[in-house]
Amino acid sequence: MTSKFEYPKSFGRYKVLDLVARGGLAAIFKCEAPDGDLVAVKALLKEGGGINVTESQYPMLTTRFQREIQITGQLDHRAVVRLIDSGYEGDIPYMVINYVVGERLFERIYEGAPMEVEEARTLMIKVCDGLQMVHFKNIAHRDVQPKNLLLVIPDDDPVLIDFGLALTPHLSMEGKTERAGTVSYMPPEIVDRERFIPPGVMGNINREMELFRSADIWGIGCLFYFSLSGKRPFPGDTEEEVFKAITDSPHVPLSDIVPSIPEWPDKVLDYIFQKDYRQRPSTPLLTGTQFEDRGTTIPQPKKKLFGLF
């Protein structure tokens, strides 16, 4: 991938070999470390080269980027991105992470074909294991979706990436009231806070983190659904239609898309996609158990604590 925009030739000790990807706020580079190992460098660039960061936005985004670095540095699991180093190249902040040879789940399914049920089941068990470690550290990812899951070649081991929206009470919770995440994969309580978040949750740090961690559980369901169908569980032609489906409709049954699919994936998704976040599996570990057991141990719904559902 090439660009006329002049990117730095190195970030600290790390020599730039190629531009791998760029989004609205950051770019990812393939780089060479001093010992010859390949690493990935994520840099928050100022406006230019397809990066949409204006001068006025940069201080706030730099603060959030530093939070992402600190959060990523706490993580240590084979299914989660790993921080190697961080620093500044001039006034450009960057983080060095492990270089993964693979592709995003979104690309794998969109450009190829949906997974077989057992393949997707195995993948989700591994994702749940990694996310359990993240939650054990009292961190919520807040954007678990197909573009943020890498599949390592050749064994398709998952690596959860991009903690740019992640929150932890150990650091600033700035941004916690935003409608954060990717539109198609947001849970109801993020789409419509007034309707789906009980009184007294916001402002109570422990209950806020429970809320944000449950959004990650919803994201696991989105990963599973997409891996089996290549579709979004709550479709719509506009953002408004998608949000309406998320808040008011059940997911489109997988059996409507893949008639040969067994019953248990939709049963597990019914559990994960509960509109009341407190009715979902409470941890990734318990979510993984549902995949392991193929939905045979789904508990009875908890007593509803308030009357919004």
Q: What is the pLDDT along the chain (309 residues), one digit of tens a residue?
A: 444 567 899 999 999 999 998 876 789 999 999 999 999 999 998 765 455 566 677 788 889 999 999 999 999 999 999 999 999 999 899 999 999 999 999 999 999 899 999 999 999 999 999 999 999 999 999 999 999 999 999 899 999 999 999 999 988 777 787 888 999 999 999 999 999 999 999 999 999 999 999 999 999 999 999 999 999 999 999 999 999 999 999 999 999 999 999 999 999 999 999 999 999 999 999 999 999 999 999 998 776 655 554
Ramachandran region of residue 6, left (φ > 0), alpha (ψ -120 to 50) or beta?
beta
Question: Is there a contact between 252 and 243 (Cβ–Cβ < 8 Å)?
Answer: no
E-state strands within 146-242: 149-152, 157-160
Query: Which residues have CB under 8 Å from 17's CB, separation 6+?
Result: 29, 30, 31, 32, 38
Q: Which residue has the tokens 């808040």?
A: 247
pLDDT of residue 53: 60
Stated pTM of the model: 0.93
| Tokens found for residue 140 | 């919520």
The CA distance from 103 to 148, in Å, is: 10
Closest C-alpha to 128, from 276, 303, 268? 268
What SS3 class is residue 95?
strand
Closest C-alpha to 281, from 222, 185, 214? 214
CA distances from 42 to 80, 89, 174, 287 (A): 15, 12, 21, 31
Sheet of 27-32, strand order: 10-11, 14-22, 27-32, 38-43, 92-98, 83-89
Helix axes 205-229, 264-272, angle to 10 degrees: 150
**What single letter denotes the amino acid at residue 181?**
G
pLDDT of residue 3: 47
Residues of the chain with CATH 3.30.200.20: 10-98
pLDDT of residue 206: 94
pLDDT of residue 4: 54
- The CATH number for 102-292, chosen from 2.60.120.260, 1.10.510.10, 3.40.50.11540, 3.40.50.150, is 1.10.510.10
β-bridge partners, 97? 40, 83
pLDDT of residue 59: 82
How does strand 157-160 pair with strand 10-11? unpaired
Residues of the chain with CATH 1.10.510.10: 102-292
Question: Is there a contact between 126 and 80 (Cβ–Cβ < 8 Å)?
Answer: no
pLDDT of residue 1: 43
Whether CATH 3.30.200.20 fits 10-98? yes
Closest C-alpha to 163, from 92, 65, 20, 94? 65
